[in-house]
Chain A
Amino acid sequence: MDYLFLIIGSLVIITCFYFIISPFFSSGEMPAGEMETEGEKLTLEQVYSAVNELEMDFLMKKITSEDFEKLKEDYQLLAAEMLKDETEGLKLGKAKHLPEGKKKIKDVEAEAEILRELKKLRQQKG
């Protein structure tokens, strides 16, 4: 019986040792300084959640209609700007080589896309 407990005790020690030592034998080392973090990045979803909350506060008569309109406009401007940045970021490479007339058409297309995206996001938020 004592031998059994001795074996189990040894197994416990070996298992712990394995957990601790195994990372040193795995391939590749990622410098600890480059580890990922989500950080405090502002997302479109956050802006839309703010607009929704604002709308609820207005409908629940907690804020005035002037404040509501002004803040809503600010938020929508911010959302549009963020979408525009996103779209331009993607198309920057291609658009650089386009003539002036075609660039304008592309801008209009981008605006329309932003509006579509905004509408879709609002519907998703419910």
Chain B
Amino acid sequence: MYLIGNISIYLGIVISLYGIIANIVGIKKKSSKWIESARGAVLSLAFVASIASFLLLYLLGTSQFQYKYVASYTNESLPIAYKLTAFWAGNAGSLLLWAVLLALYTAMVVFSKEKKNPMMPYVSSILMVNILFFFTVMALNANPFEMTDKIPADGKGLNPMLQNPGMILHPVTLYMGYVGLAVPFAFGIAALILKRMDSEWIKLTRRWTLLAWLFLTLGNVIGGWWAYLELGWGGYWAWDPVENASFLPWLTVSAFLHSVMIQERKNMLKTWNVSLIILSYILTLFGTFLVRSGILTSVHAFGDSNLGTYFLVFMAFMMLFSLYIVMTRYGLLKKDSSPIEAYFSKESSFLLNNMILVAAAFAVFWGTMYPLISETFTGTKVNVGAPYFDKVMAPILLVLIVLMGICPLIAWQKAVFEKFMKNTLWPLAMGVATAIILFAVGVKGIYAIIGLSATSFMFGTHLQEFARGIGARRKATKENVLKAAFKLTVKNQRRYGGYIVHIGIAVIAVGVISSHTYSTEVLKTVDAGNSIKTGDYSLKFNQLTEHTKNGNGIVVADIDVTYKGKDIGKIKPEKIFYETWPEPSTEVAIKTNWSQDLYVVLSSWENKDKVTFMVKVNPFVSWIWMGGIIMVIGTAFALIGGRPTTSRYQINKGISRVGG
């Protein structure tokens, strides 16, 4: 098996090198046979990467501790699900996961119905450069099939924090997002190399970009959920460098998804779009560099290797290569691009939204890198921490929410300010009414009230868009409400999918603003039989017990909970002492209802009758997860049926031709 694993990795290097060369020869000689052969190389890459992956899964599942990777991340008593997810627990496995996803994506692209597109040899070459990099790094620095000198009796086991269902989904979804962005990047660069300045590459990669964004969204939301359950500090987002690293491409791809519509319809923002996709792709490499290099302190970092250097070099190479291509085509991009004609138009509002998303990305980047920047110039590492991010990001996100409320009200074609103002009335009234109600019921915190009112305004805009859309359709077709609603959304999946995503963001915003502003925390030591009171909750501590499961010692606190005087059952926060891990892990106990979470952590104990608990009441946290689900549904809706936007630019050209 050692032989097969290593053959797969070294074959990966040889085949990707061959594939790149075959494409170059095919392009130079204009030979379809060479290009077909390069396509065969892509198929071979998917084949060898899959073999290596299945082999690693087999080794992990059957506890073959003669392999260093298996011995480092699993042990005999680990449940099979976590044995298999240890695939991406370490550097070598993560690189293999990246390689196999990339190889499979590349195969799907080059064998798609666009396989005869002249861009394809360039696209497959660019993707194979990426595959080559991952196989090379595995061979040189992080081979998942490396053997141990002496076979250990048992493995070291998996970090307890990684023994959570989040481990099954969070890394994979993020990787699928990261890897997916390589596809639009490759198409963008291929289009520039071929000097194809139209929006064909955008149309061809629309689904890939949306899919990558969907996975990035899922990855980030699941990551937040996992942190909330597992880390035991009561929050879901800590502005940790690695969290930020996955948030950065999400922001830039969000900008890209909006600005491509302008290029498709109006032939504008060509340089901007290609720059955004390059930036997004580079940020995925940057994120991996942060995780692998250990240059910044993070709960995620795999800081025990020098893989960061490889990523830094590769990132620099890809950045310089992309810059060179953009610079040499800059004149053409400029020449072929239409300027923005009116300040009050859909395209201006989209451009503003893009600027703000990119500004948000820059603010996150700056805060993340500040410790390094300060160390370079002053010799002292200064961490800016969550207060900086909260202070900078809160107004940026507020402006984004307001813009999300404004943009849908502006027509694509002849936007008229008076009409827009009229259409804003109801959503605005909804925002103002929210503010008044919140003040009236005694809610405090002016910034939170502004944020919640803005969210209500944005939600109102979208409700109105749906209602008016249904009304307009009924007027034109005389259909009943349900049929009109169904047909309206199904026939405009891209637009209404986007609106559903916006509604998901509104739901998340309510959760984030409320939990951030109105969360309460009590840290209290209680004797058995005594209670802790917080808000409407009363928690009566009964006893502390200890038992063993799968060889791990588990300490459980038994607590009766009442809410507004009514018994709502028991909760049992735990501490688990793993055989193979020095630090105990905290298992949080959570009681959720629609408006708040009771979050209880077993902090410490003097003896079994005197225990310290951290009790938090977090309002509307469940709305964050619900919002995430709505966003995923909206994206999937836009993805499944959405067709590329009609090129209004071409239509306008057509109209001027016929003299309309």
Cβ of B412: which chain A residues have Cβ within 8 Å of it?
53, 57
Answer yes or no: A12 CB below 8 A from chain B CBs. Answer: yes
CA distance A59 to B488 in the complex (A): 13
Count: A-B pairs, CB below 8 Å: 171
CA distance A88 to B41 in the complex (A): 47
A96 shortest CB reach to chain B, Å: 24
Alpha-carbon gap, A73 to B53, bound state (A): 59
Partner of B648, one of A39, A50, A61, A82: A50
A54 to chain B, nearest CB (A): 6
| Chain A nearest CB, measured from B604 CB (Å) | 52
Complex CA gap A125/B658 in Å reads 24
Contact partners of A50 in chain B: CB under 8 A: 646, 648, 651
A12 and B413 form a contact (CB under 8 A): no
- Is B524 an interface residue, CB under 8 A from the partner? no
Contact across chains for B414 and A29 when beta carbons are under 8 A apart: no
- The answer, among B39, B476, B651, for a CB contact under 8 Å with A78, is B651
| B26 and A63 within 8 A (CB) | no
Residue from A8, A12, A75 in contact with B651 in the complex, judged by beta carbons closer than 8 Å:
A75
A30 x B32 contact (CB < 8 A): yes
A31's partner among B32, B409, B654 (CB-CB below 8 A) is B32
Is B416 located at the chain interface by the 8 A CB criterion? yes
A38 to B475, CA, bound (A): 37
Binds A, one of B44-52, B93-101, B292-300, B318-326: B44-52
Interface members, chain B 256-305 (any A CB < 8 Å): none
CB-nearest residue of chain B to A39: B200
The smallest beta-carbon distance between B463 and chain A, in angstroms, is 13
Structural contact, A59 and B18, CB atoms closer than 8 A: no
| Contact indicator per residue, chain A 1-12, by CB within 8 Å of chain B (1) or not (0) | 000011011001
Instruction: Say which one of B1-9, B206-214, B356-364, B546-554 lies at the interface with A.
Output: B1-9
Q: A23-B40, A40-B200, A74-B660 are in contact. Are A29 and B31 (CB under 8 A)?
A: yes
In-complex Cβ contact of B416 among A22, A67, A75, A125 (8 A)? A67
Contact with A60, one of B31, B43, B414, B472 (Cβ below 8 angstroms): B472
Query: When the two chains form their complex, are residues B660 and A78 in contact, meaning their CB atoms are under 8 A apart?
Result: yes
Q: In chain A between 35 and 65, which residues have their CB closer than 8 angstroms to a CB of chain B?
A: 35-40, 42, 46-47, 49-50, 53-57, 59-64
Determine if B535 is an interface residue (Cβ-Cβ < 8 Å): no
Stretch binding the partner chain, chosen from B116-124, B173-181, B238-246, B307-315: B116-124
Taking CB atoms and an 8 Å cut-off, the chain B residues in 31-64 that contact chain A are 31-37, 39-41, 43-44, 47-48, 51
Interface range for B: 35 or more
- A50 CA to B477 CA, complexed, in Å: 17
Residue of A19, A67, A82 touching B413 (CB-CB under 8 A): A67
Asked whether B90 is an interface residue with its Cβ less than 8 Å from the other chain, the reply is no
B7 contact from A12, A20, A21, A82, Cβ within 8 A: A12
What's the nearest-Cβ distance from chain A to residue B91, in Å? 24
**Residue among A37, A54, A55, A73 with the most chain B CB within 10 A?**
A37
Asked whether any CB of chain B lies closer than 8 Å to the CB of A86, the reply is no
Say what secondary structure dominates the interface of chain B.
helix
Residue ID in chain A nearest B27 by CB atoms: A32
Say yes or no: is B558 at the interface (Cβ < 8 Å to chain A): no
Q: Provide the residues of chain B in CB contact with A46, threshold 8 Å.
A: 646-647, 650-651
CB <8 Å contact, A12 and B411 = no
DSSP majority for the A interface?
Answer: helix
Q: Is A16 an interface residue (CB 8 A)?
A: yes
Option from A35, A54, A71, A74 in Cβ contact (under 8 Å) with B118 = A35
- Contact of B47 with A15 in the complex, beta carbons under 8 Å: yes
* B37 x A42 contact (CB < 8 A): no
Residues of A within 8 A of B651 (CB): 42, 46-47, 50, 75, 78
Assuming A9-B4, A62-B409, is B646 touching A53 (CB within 8 A)? yes
Given contacts A55-B476, A73-B660, A74-B660, A24 and B33 within 8 Å (CB-CB): yes
Q: Does A93 contact B (CB under 8 A)?
A: no
Q: Is B198's beta carbon under 8 Å from chain A?
A: yes
Kindly identify which residue among B3, B41, B419 contacts A20, using a CB–CB cutoff of 8 Å.
B41
Residue of A16, A26, A57 touching B411 (CB-CB under 8 A): A57
B659 and chain A: residue at smallest CB distance? A77
Q: Give which listed residue, A20, A24, A59, A63, contacts B476 with CB less than 8 A.
A: A59
Q: Are A59 and B44 in contact (CB under 8 A)?
A: no
CB distance from B498 to the nearest CB of A (A): 14
Cβ contact within 8 Å between B472 and A20: no
Q: Within 8 Å CB of A71, what residues of B? A: 413-414
Task: Please give the distance in Å from B1's CB to the nearest CB on chain A.
Answer: 6
Q: A36-B116, A56-B473 in contact; A63/B414 too (CB < 8 A)?
A: yes
Contact of B334 with A by CB under 8 A:
no
Q: Which 9 A-B pairs have the closest CB atoms?
A: A59-B472, A23-B36, A74-B660, A16-B44, A19-B40, A62-B411, A67-B414, A32-B30, A60-B468
Q: Given contact pairs A29-B32, A32-B35, enumerate 7 new A-B contacts (beta carbons under 8 Å).
A: A9-B3, A9-B7, A32-B31, A53-B413, A57-B411, A62-B415, A78-B658
- Give B contacts to A, CB under 8 Å: 1, 3-4, 7-8, 11, 15, 18, 22, 26-27, 29-37, 39-41, 43-44, 47-48, 51, 116-118, 121, 198-200, 409-416, 419-420, 422-423, 465, 468-469, 471-473, 475-477, 487, 491, 646-648, 650-651, 654-655, 658, 660
25 contacts between A and B (CB under 8 A): A5-B1, A19-B43, A20-B18, A20-B37, A20-B40, A23-B34, A23-B39, A24-B33, A29-B31, A29-B32, A32-B26, A40-B198, A42-B651, A46-B650, A47-B646, A53-B413, A54-B413, A59-B468, A59-B473, A59-B476, A62-B415, A67-B413, A71-B413, A77-B660, A126-B491
Residues of chain A touching chain B, judged by Cβ–Cβ distance below 8 Å, are 5-6, 8-9, 12-13, 15-16, 19-24, 26, 29-33, 35-40, 42, 46-47, 49-50, 53-57, 59-64, 67, 71, 73-75, 77-78, 81-82, 125-126
